[in-house]
């Protein structure tokens, strides 16, 4: 009997020590521990969720359909090019994932089907219509999601966030968690920008260009495009340049007629850096092309001296300077009245590369650092007050036995925190609520036993017999009641999102640990008291 108790006491002591060691990093004491301790012992502790430490939780959808459309357009261009090399002049136009080719004959048909096995025929009469095969579309979407994930990871690495979490969810979603980010808006823009950089020639030769309005107010762009639809040459489009009047702050949009086909794109970049304009000390982004890009750029500028070349990012014109001379060396610059931060972010997205498809934001949950701090403080206060209230009530109602229950409660809290720390579990605000509720529920096991003991005492049993049979009889009730709580906690864990998962973790850990403290902790103390001397009276 004695040995048994000793074993249980050692078990309790060891678990408490382990719990404290794991939880130490969450306390200010950890700083004062000796060097060897901090290096070799657990140093992570409980991790605070985004809702407590502040940060962003973003969910984006990769618009894979758009990626497929882009690919279809590329195929159309390739088909046209391939056939023209074989002296077959055709028009190839893409719409969605379909490509229409006119005119049609059996030779053209054969050439296309031999060279583009990924295209599935839709119609073959006077015109040939193909579409990207379903398998190909699926592959494009999948690749787009992978690439987007990689690109976002690159951008965030360069932006500098400690411990970001970036992962794919389902077929086409990307979840980004950024703890402790101070400027959420900037981070969202940085991630969400497609960053498709294109160099397009301005078509000032078309007569219609002169008819475009000087500038329009923001929001009226669509009207201009509608007005000129069908009147502009087929290989051109209207894009807008944003101009801000420095004195008044008024924003105007200037329509520019551009060649649809990009002469050069951002995937040929090798680097992008922020530089400061020496005259106005305004930041700009200088870009360098790789060797192939530099060659294309040199030919392009050489062949179009005197024309304007527009620098287009995500369908917005940043500037459209006149090409004064052939430019060798592969360097160019992007100006656009940037702030220092804007220029820096632009250089990041250009370096990290464009997203294969636009992103659509599905969810944004941002918590500022002050709210998180307030929540932690409030949680602590509520926890302490709740614990004290429960502890006092137990002493009031069950006297010395209540004190033993309070000891078990304390043990419960220590072990719960230790268990969470050892798992490096994420503590969220609902998680704090879970801990506090677990405190209220933790005494239930003891209440069940104490009530049983009272029953046994009333029935005339000796205190020792009352304790023993009280435990025995209460055991299955305690077990059943804990399992039912665990079922709901498991369901919450399975279905919940971040914060709710945190709640499920604390609640289920709290309940499991409670089984241990109730069945081993309190029982040992009663046994110690009982073995010292046979109790005549049980303070319950």
Q: Which of residues 25-54 bind another protein (CB under 8 A)?
A: 51
Among 374, 423, 531, 534, binds another protein (CB under 8 A): 374
Closer residue to another protein, CB minimum distance, 257 or 448: 448
Instruction: Answer yes or no whether residue 531 interacts with another protein by CB under 8 A.
Output: no
Long-range contacts of 400-406 (CB under 8 A, 24+ apart): 400/539, 400/540, 401/450, 401/453, 401/538, 401/539, 401/540, 404/446, 404/522, 404/525, 404/526, 405/443, 405/446, 405/447, 405/450, 405/522
The minimum distance between CB 294 and another protein, in angstroms, equals 37
Among 32, 36, 280, 476, binds another protein (CB under 8 A): 476
Among 158, 290, 366, 512, binds another protein (CB under 8 A): 366
Between CA 275 and CA 429 the distance in angstroms is 44
Q: Which two tokens stand for residue 55?
A: 């940060």
Map tokens 């497609």 to a residue: 194
Instruction: Answer yes or no whether residue 469 interacts with another protein by CB under 8 A.
Output: no
Task: Give backbone dihedrals phi and psi of 197, rounded to 5 degrees, phi first.
Answer: -95, 130
> How many chain residues touch another protein (CB under 8 A)?
75
Query: 311 - beta bridge partners?
Result: 199, 319
Between CA 490 and CA 484 the distance in angstroms is 10
Q: List Cα–Cα distances, 20 to 15, 17, 420, in angstroms.
A: 9, 5, 11
Closer residue to another protein, CB minimum distance, 79 or 394: 394
Burial class (CB in 10 A: 0-12, 13-18, 19+), 487: exposed
Among 305, 381, 423, 459, binds another protein (CB under 8 A): 381
Among 3, 125, 396, 537, binds another protein (CB under 8 A): 396
Instruction: Answer yes or no whether residue 113 interacts with another protein by CB under 8 A.
Output: no
The minimum distance between CB 177 and another protein, in angstroms, equals 15
Which residues, including other chains, have CB under 8 Å from residue 128's CB and lie 6 or more apart?
Answer: 100, 101, 102, 104, 108, 109, 112, 121
Q: Computed over its alpha carbons, how large is the radius of gyration of the chain? A: 35
The minimum distance between CB 498 and another protein, in angstroms, equals 10
The minimum distance between CB 384 and another protein, in angstroms, equals 8
Instruction: Answer yes or no whether residue 196 interacts with another protein by CB under 8 A.
Output: no
Instruction: Answer yes or no whether residue 390 interacts with another protein by CB under 8 A.
Output: yes
Between CA 105 and CA 86 the distance in angstroms is 14
Does residue 284 contact residue 333 with C-beta atoms inside 8 Å? Answer: yes
Q: Which residues ranging from 346 to 365 are in contact with another protein (CB under 8 A)? A: 360-365
Stretch that binds another protein, among 115-123, 202-210, 312-320, 469-477 (CB under 8 A): 469-477
Q: List Cα–Cα distances, 95 to 75, 79, 357, 497, in angstroms.
A: 11, 15, 16, 39
Instruction: Answer yes or no whether residue 367 interacts with another protein by CB under 8 A.
Output: yes
Q: Which residues ranging from 406 to 465 are in contact with another protein (CB under 8 A)? A: 429-430, 432-434, 436-437, 439-441, 443-444, 447-448, 451, 454-455
Instruction: Answer yes or no whether residue 59 interacts with another protein by CB under 8 A.
Output: yes
The minimum distance between CB 276 and another protein, in angstroms, equals 28
Instruction: Answer yes or no whether residue 494 interacts with another protein by CB under 8 A.
Output: yes
Q: Which residues ranging from 256 to 315 are in contact with another protein (CB under 8 A)? A: none
Report DSSP letters for 247-275, one per residue: TT--EEEEEEEEESS-SEEGGGEEEEEEE
Closer residue to another protein, CB minimum distance, 13 or 491: 491
Instruction: Answer yes or no whether residue 507 interacts with another protein by CB under 8 A.
Output: yes
């Amino acid at each position: 009997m004695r040995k048994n108790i000793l074993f249980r006491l050692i078990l309790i002591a060891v678990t408490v020590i382990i719990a404290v060691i794991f939880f130490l990093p969450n306390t200010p004491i950890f700083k004062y521990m000796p060097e060897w301790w901090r290096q070799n012992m657990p140093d992570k502790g409980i991790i605070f969720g985004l809702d407590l430490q502040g940060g962003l939780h973003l969910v984006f959808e990769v618009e894979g359909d758009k990626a497929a459309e882009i690919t279809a357009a590329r195929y159309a261009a390739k088909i046209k090019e391939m056939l023209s090399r074989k002296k077959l002049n055709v028009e190839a136009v893409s719409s969605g994932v379909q490509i229409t080719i006119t005119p049609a004959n059996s030779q053209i048909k054969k050439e296309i089907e031999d060279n583009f096995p990924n295209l599935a025929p839709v119609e073959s009469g006077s015109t040939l219509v193909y579409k990207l095969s379903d398998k190909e579309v699926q592959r494009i979407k999948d690749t787009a999601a992978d690439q987007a994930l990689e690109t976002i990871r690159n951008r965030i690495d360069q932006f500098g966030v400690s411990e970001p979490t970036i992962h794919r969810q389902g077929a086409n979603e990307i979840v980004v968690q950024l703890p402790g980010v101070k400027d959420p808006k900037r981070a969202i823009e940085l991630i969400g920008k497609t960053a498709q950089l294109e160099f397009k020639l301005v078509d000032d030769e078309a007569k219609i260009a002169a008819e475009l309005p000087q500038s329009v107010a923001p929001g009226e762009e669509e009207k201009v495009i509608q007005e000129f639809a069908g009147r502009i040459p087929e290989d051109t489009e209207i894009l807008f340049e944003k101009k801000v009047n420095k004195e008044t702050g008024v924003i105007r949009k200037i329509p520019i007629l551009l060649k649809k086909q990009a002469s050069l794109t951002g995937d040929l970049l090798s680097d992008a850096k922020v530089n400061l304009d020496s005259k106005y000390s305004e930041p700009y982004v200088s870009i360098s092309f790789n060797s192939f890009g530099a060659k294309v750029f040199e030919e392009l500028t050489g062949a179009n001296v005197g024309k304007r070349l527009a620098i287009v990012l995500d369908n917005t014109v940043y500037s459209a300077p006149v090409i004064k001379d052939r430019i060798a060396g592969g360097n160019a610059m992007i100006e656009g009245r940037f702030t220092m931060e804007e220029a820096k972010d632009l250089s990041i997205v250009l370096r990290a590369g464009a997203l294969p498809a636009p992103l659509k934001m599905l969810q944004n949950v941002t918590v500022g650092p002050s709210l998180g701090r307030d929540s932690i403080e409030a949680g602590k206060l509520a926890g302490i007050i709740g614990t004290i209230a429960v502890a006092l009530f137990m002493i009031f109602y069950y006297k010395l036995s209540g004190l033993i229950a309070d000891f078990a409660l304390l043990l419960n809290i220590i072990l719960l925190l230790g268990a969470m720390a050892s798992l490096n579990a994420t503590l969220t605000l609902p998680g704090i609520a879970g801990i506090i509720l677990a405190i209220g529920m933790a005494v239930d096991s003891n209440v069940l036993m104490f009530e049983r003991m009272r029953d046994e005492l009333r029935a005339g049993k000796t205190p020792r017999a009352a304790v023993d049979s009280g435990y025995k009889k209460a055991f299955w009730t305690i077990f059943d009641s804990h399992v039912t709580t665990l079922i709901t906690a498991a369901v919450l864990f399975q279905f919940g999102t971040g914060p709710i998962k945190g709640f499920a973790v604390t609640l289920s850990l709290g309940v499991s640990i409670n089984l241990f403290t109730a069945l081993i902790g309190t029982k040992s103390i009663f046994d110690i008291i009982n073995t010292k001397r046979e109790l005549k009276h049980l303070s319950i």
